[in-house]
Amino acid sequence: MIEENNGPSRMAARFRGFYPVVIDVETGGFQSATDALLEIAAVTLKFDDEGILSPDRCVSFHVQPFEGANIEQAALDFTGIDPYHPFRDAVTEATALQEIFTMVRKGLKSAGCNRAVVVGHNAHFDHGFLKAAVERTEIKRDPFHPFSSFDTATLSALVFGQTVLAKTCKIAGIEFDTKAAHSAEYDTMKTAELFCAMVNKYKALGGWVDAVDDDEMDFLAAMGGLD
């Protein structure tokens, strides 16, 4: 169950009506149109009563390579994934996306936001594979903004002077197990923790207050971002 945590106006106001969802993918290469999507995970976020952002729900899937997908051996060597392992318990791209999108839509409604936005470490890569899978599966109701995303690599360079996820987490005081890395579920959760840490750090420094002016509230309401 997704907790509201006094949050419809808070989440919508903080991110201009967007609902941030952390996404990570593991793939068979770098080309989203031709290379296999092998793992995908998504983490939603929530505010507590003090305005502190934290990870909420997580779903993850091993994904069956789509018919005709290219898989580079170098990519498998890097991630350690065996796409055809008999106990991998993989699902189709359509099943994975439908489960993720169902969770996201529930979160959107609960938070009073009008559109989800991908949060990722080098978000363009993850978003590209997500969009390619949506196109292949012909899913019509994609809750994510078609081109906007929040990139934690860019934010990390600003906040911590570092762009590598493992190194940035270390600087931020977030535990990171390099042996567990390069699984979509683990990397998504660490990216979520990092994004929350940066949002909360900015708030603690006085860069954000839990209030918006009347014009901003009117704008969000007109956009459908507030109940």
The token duo for 2 is 């997704």
Distance from chain centroid for Cα 21: 4
Q: Which one, of 108, 124, 99, lies nearest residue 21 by Cα?
A: 108
List, by residue number, the catalytic residues.
182
Which contacts qualify for 60-63: CB closer than 8 Å, 24 or more apart? 60/184, 60/185, 60/188, 61/90, 61/91, 61/95, 61/96, 61/99, 61/100, 62/38, 62/88, 62/89, 62/90, 62/91, 63/36, 63/37, 63/38, 63/39, 63/90, 63/91, 63/92, 63/93, 63/96
Asked if residues 19 and 118 have their Cβ atoms less than 8 Å apart, the reply is no
